[in-house]
Amino acid sequence: MSRRTITICTPEPLNIHRAGIEQIAEKTRLSAKLEPGMSLIPFATSLGCKIEHVPAFTRNGRAPLAMHVRNENDFTVFLSTMLSDGRDRTSLAQEIGHHLLHYLTIAQAEPSIQMETFRYLRDTDPDYAELTRARTEAIWFGGALLMPSAEFKAAHQHDPSPNSLADKFGVTSAGAALRCRALGLASEASLRD
């Protein structure tokens, strides 16, 4: 019996500017008919995602997995048992970003390849700069998917409090404050609310 070799990679950044990543997220959101605050689980499941809740600690000195992609329609996102629903939604949105932006691009050239992302990056990782850029792209995607620009700006005009925005969009207040900053809606002082 021969053994099949499985190649597992980590995300490679697309090196697209933030506005381009956010446009991809907006098209994804509209195509999936996702509304602000709506559960991402049905959408994730439609992509082939399974969700597992795991402890948030490292094992054998290595950061825990955030996602393992087996193929285009089969991947698992690992969410922490120790975090809030808002943080879990953000993590799930970011991992969907990795899947759609990074894995599907890599798989076009090598369909049998698998991909893993980790909850934490270490500056000692050999590809730290590339991994950081890929993670940044996934963060931009997740923020735009959960807090679409037009809806977020309108909600901000009604009530600029990060706590109110967090409640409306189903994210953490820190996530809402970061989105305010990304959209140029808040000063540093208002981020401390």
DSSP for residue 76: E
CA nearest neighbour of 136 among 21, 47, 51: 21
Convert the pLDDT of each residue in 117-141 to its tens digit. 998 888 888 899 999 999 999 999 9
CA nearest neighbour of 44 among 98, 93, 116: 93
For 68, the 3-state DSSP assignment is strand
What pLDDT, on the 0 to 100 scale, is given for residue 170?
97
What average pLDDT does the chain have?
91
Rounded to two decimals, the pTM is: 0.91
